[in-house]
Amino acid sequence: MSALRIASQLDVAFNARLRQMLPGVDVLDWPRGVFAGLPATVQVMLAAPHPKLKSAEEPAGWPYGLQWIQLVTSGVDFFPPWLLERVPVASARGTTAEAIAEFAVAAVFAAAKQLPALWVNNAGHWQQRSLASVSGSTLGLFGFGRIAQSTARKAQALGMKVVALRASEQPFELPGIEAARDLHDLFARADHLLLAAPATARTYRVIDRAVLASAKPGLHLINVARGSLIDQDALRDALDAGQIGLASLDVSDPEPLPEGHWLYRHPRVHLSPHTSANSPQVYLNIAELLARNIQHWRVGQALENAVFTARQSIQGVPA
């Protein structure tokens, strides 16, 4: 029986670690954004996003010899439909939850404690400031997948009240979570509000002028989901007016933003380059998920985090 062969679009250092974790598995370094010419001997692809991938055309001969695809992202919106429809696909749902939740909590502390503006480097800046309390404040959550659930647990441990809004009507998996009636109610009640919903047709620019106008004055808006959830022109006006006190954005639309974009220089924006999920532990989580799915596939079981496309059933929901 020939060895299992995987084409990985993650970096060379990760692939070296993957070879150590998967003895007997042949791991082929494969460039991001390239699918044409994949050897027919490759059975599994570890697929990573690329800026030009969504508009890429299906290459002749696709899917070659692939049996299934493991995505390295929770969401599927980075990938073109043809990548998701010919062979089984699994997302990386849950692998980034803890890392992104830590980032969200760090953003809350940075806002409440005025970091890094609080730091002083000369005597002229030596002046005490009034800082906000994290304990006793309210965290709003739009979406209640694994990222939001992990953030909720951490927030509750800090003494925060948590109010959430999710698409489904099922009960929240954690005790003590209050349900918002709608987006307007969620924005009106929160001191810090985390966007953790998937990018879909229903959520495209759902954070619009009317929703932003409902916000508690000075609201801190955190987006770790997708930039497309927010009407960025409306956000700029809300920031200028002070209705939104601060926007901590790890995502934007588009990515990367063009040189000179207003989000780079606005004084009420903390912008980071879609990096909240990047940590050694997340890559280890992806490798472990891949190993589990290899075992599932070998014994004929369903893949963990299987993605169902519109052609098959419903699109997978990232978290």
Question: In terms of domains, do 201 and 258 share one?
Answer: yes
Tokens linked to 22: 């998967």
Residue 286 sits in which domain range? 5-95+279-298
Question: In terms of domains, do 24 and 167 share one?
Answer: no
Alpha helices (H) along 120-277: 146-157, 183-189, 209-213, 232-241
Return d(Cα 164, Cα 153) in angstroms, integer. Answer: 13
The answer to the question of residue 28 being in a domain is yes
Helix (H) or strand (E) holding 287: helix 280-298
For residue 226, which of 197, 189, 266, 262 has the smallest C-alpha distance?
197
The answer to the question of residue 319 being in a domain is no
For residue 2, the model assigns a pLDDT of 66
Return d(Cα 71, Cα 95) in angstroms, integer. Answer: 11
Question: In terms of domains, do 153 and 9 share one?
Answer: no
Q: What CA–CA distances, in Å, run from 178 to 157, 160, 161, 163, 170? A: 16, 12, 8, 5, 13
Strand order through the sheet with 26-29: 26-29, 5-8, 44-47, 68-71, 89-90
First to last CA, the chain: 37
For 54-114, give the DSSP string.
TTPPPPTTTTTT--EEEESSS-STTS-HHHHHSS-EE--TTTTHHHHHHHHHHHHHHHHTT
Question: In terms of domains, do 11 and 25 share one?
Answer: yes
Q: What is the CATH number of the domain that holds 294?
A: 3.40.50.720
The answer to the question of residue 145 being in a domain is yes
Cβ count within 10 A of residue 106 = 13
Phi, psi of 41, deg, nearest 5? -80, -10
Question: In terms of domains, do 170 and 42 share one?
Answer: no
Tokens linked to 191: 């001191």
Question: In terms of domains, do 87 and 227 share one?
Answer: no
CA atoms within 13 A on the CB side of 275: 5
CA atoms within 13 A on the CB side of 50: 17
Place of tokens 């990222």: 147
The answer to the question of residue 123 being in a domain is yes
Return d(Cα 292, Cα 298) in angstroms, integer. Answer: 10
Local structure of residue 306 (DSSP, 8 states): B
* Vertex 310: Cα angle to 77 and 290 (nearest 5): 55
Contact assessment for residue 44 and residue 18, using Cβ atoms and an 8 Å cutoff:
no
Tokens linked to 129: 């400031």
The answer to the question of residue 190 being in a domain is yes
Question: In terms of domains, do 29 and 116 share one?
Answer: no
Question: In terms of domains, do 140 and 83 share one?
Answer: no
The answer to the question of residue 37 being in a domain is yes
Helix (H) or strand (E) holding 284: helix 280-298
Tokens linked to 142: 């739009």
Query: How many domains is the chain partitioned into structurally?
Result: 2
pLDDT beneath 50, residues of the chain: 1, 310-319
The distance of Cα 69 from the centroid of its chain, to the nearest Å, equals 19
Question: In terms of domains, do 64 and 145 share one?
Answer: no
Question: In terms of domains, do 9 and 104 share one?
Answer: no
For residue 258, the model assigns a pLDDT of 96
Tokens linked to 250: 């790890």
Question: In terms of domains, do 49 and 112 share one?
Answer: no
The answer to the question of residue 313 being in a domain is no
Question: In terms of domains, do 131 and 247 share one?
Answer: yes
The answer to the question of residue 316 being in a domain is no
